[in-house]
Structure 1
Amino acid sequence: MSLGTSTVEGMTDSPEATAAPATQGPPKILGPERLKALSHPLRLRILDLLQTHGSLTASGLAELVGESSGSTSYHLRQLARHEFVREVEGKGTARERWWEQTPGGYRIAPEADDDVGTRTAKSMVNAQLEKTRQAKIWHLLDVVDKAPDVDPRYLAWKDSITLSTTLLWATPEQLASVIEAFHEFLDVYTAPLRGQENVAGTAPVQIHFNAFPVLDDGA
């Protein structure tokens, strides 16, 4: 069973992770304090759920992650303090506040002057982000494997799915040029899709683009 279009064809100059921005513009580079605030698996999970589900309350998040509302409320306050999330204006009450992701993305990349703690925090956040991405792909594959011809979620989207890998040889400068062109392309073609959270027929989607050198022991 094909996943829409699956293509295999065979690299950035440093590993990094960029969370998809809610609005256009360059992603913000995280400073040490914001990075430290993000270095918690539950906070990253909360951010992912807000990106996928839209605005949620602390109690709604608690049900989704299997934690107490007190715990999710605490982590929401920490995320808000560092401008990762914000309270939804005009929605909720003093007892039940609604939260959403703050517009804009963020970028995490190693720097030459990073200390050991900063490098560890960046590695942990990047690893958790990648784990979350992979979990979504495995869930998709599970849906396809169990009931590809009857699950309405797959039937509606089967021609709009691709898991694509391109294998090539390139210089660092050539690959950097490809990455820059991809982001320019993405800005143009995703602009009409922004702000469609409440449009009938839409669903949360993710667009992944990984570009990196394939390093072995002799590289």
Structure 2
Amino acid sequence: MTRDPQALRALAHPLRWKLIDVLEREGSATATRCAELLGESVASCAYHLGILAKYGYIEADPARAGREKPWRITERQQRLGGEELDLEGQLASEAAVDAFLEHEFGRIRRRVRQRDLQPPDWRQAGSVLGSTMWITAAELQEIRQQLLDLATRYADRDDDASRRPQGARHVRLFAATTVAALGSDAETAEPGEGRE
């Protein structure tokens, strides 16, 4: 988990999450390539890539030489929690999580809107799922671990394209486990489910 509030604040900008997405998908990319894909200026992409590099989220890719510096992700998993941080760290954590969620929800909305453009097998494979239940903290921990296991099951394919089966596409799994505040209306509401 990132302990430095300034490093957490570096993730509180929407363009930086988009840049992280590009680098994850492309393996490595220059500011020019990022600008092409995101419809941003090269100067803006270069600046924000520099901030991500300053705090260790990305690094120059030594495997790709050229006039322009290519960047790559240093770690695919970002830990944004504010547990055990002081107030400044907790506020930085909240800002980073808010930016991440806005980015993630935007991506989900775009993909759901484009769902009808997908071939039938891909339309049927994708879903949006929500479920509310009464469980213990230990059971929630178990669910969290199961989701983490699912999310990382095919991680070896990220950096090694030869491991990707024919027909594989870039798919995003997003999951959240949240707990209602004690005494809130959600604590007394009826359990419900919704899915697309």
Whether the TM-score (by the shorter chain) exceeds 0.5 is: yes
Q: Report the number of matched residues.
A: 182
Q: Which amino acid aligns with 2:81?
A: A
Q: Give the one of 123, 130, 136 matched to 2:101.
A: 130
Q: Is 1:159 matched with 2:124?
A: yes
Q: Give the one of 16, 32, 35 matched to 1:62.
A: 35
> 1:138-177, aligned counterparts within 5 Å?
138-144=109-115, 148=116, 151=117, 153-155=118-120, 157-177=122-142
Alignment match, 2:75 = 103
Q: TM-score normalized by structure 2?
A: 0.77
Distance 1:54 1:203, change over 3 A: farther
Distance 1:66 1:90, change over 3 A: same
Q: Give the one of 58, 80, 89 matched to 1:85.
A: 58
Q: TM-score normalized by structure 1?
A: 0.70
Distance 1:214 1:141, change over 3 A: same
**Gap runs ≥5 in structure 1:** 1-28
| 8 Å contact kept, 1:108–1:122 | yes
Structure with greater contact order relative to length (CA < 8 Å, sep ≥ 6): 1
Over the aligned positions, Cα root-mean-square deviation in angstroms equals 2.6
Shift of 1:197: 4.3
| 8 Å contact kept, 1:143–1:154 | no
- Whole-angstrom distance in 1 between the partners of 2:13 and 2:151: 29
- Whole-angstrom distance in 2 between the partners of 1:154 and 1:134: 23
**Gap runs ≥5 in structure 2:** 188-196
**Which has the larger strand fraction?**
1
Q: Give the one of 69, 76, 83 matched to 2:49.
A: 76
- Whole-angstrom distance in 1 between the partners of 2:144 and 2:170: 24
Q: Which amino acid aligns with 1:98?
A: P
- Whole-angstrom distance in 2 between the partners of 1:167 and 1:49: 33
Once the two structures are superposed, residues 6-65 of structure 1 have per-residue CA deviations (whole angstroms, 9 ceiling, x without a partner) of: xxxxxxxxxxxxxxxxxxxxxxx0121421333333222211222234322101212334
Q: Is 1:217 matched with 2:181?
A: no
| 8 Å contact kept, 2:59–2:71 | yes
| 8 Å contact kept, 1:50–1:101 | yes
User: What SS does structure 1 have at the residue aligned with 2:32?
Assistant: helix
- Whole-angstrom distance in 1 between the partners of 2:99 and 2:23: 16
Greater CA drift, 189-198 or 128-137: 189-198
- Whole-angstrom distance in 2 between the partners of 1:80 and 1:96: 15
User: What SS does structure 1 have at the residue aligned with 2:64?
Assistant: strand
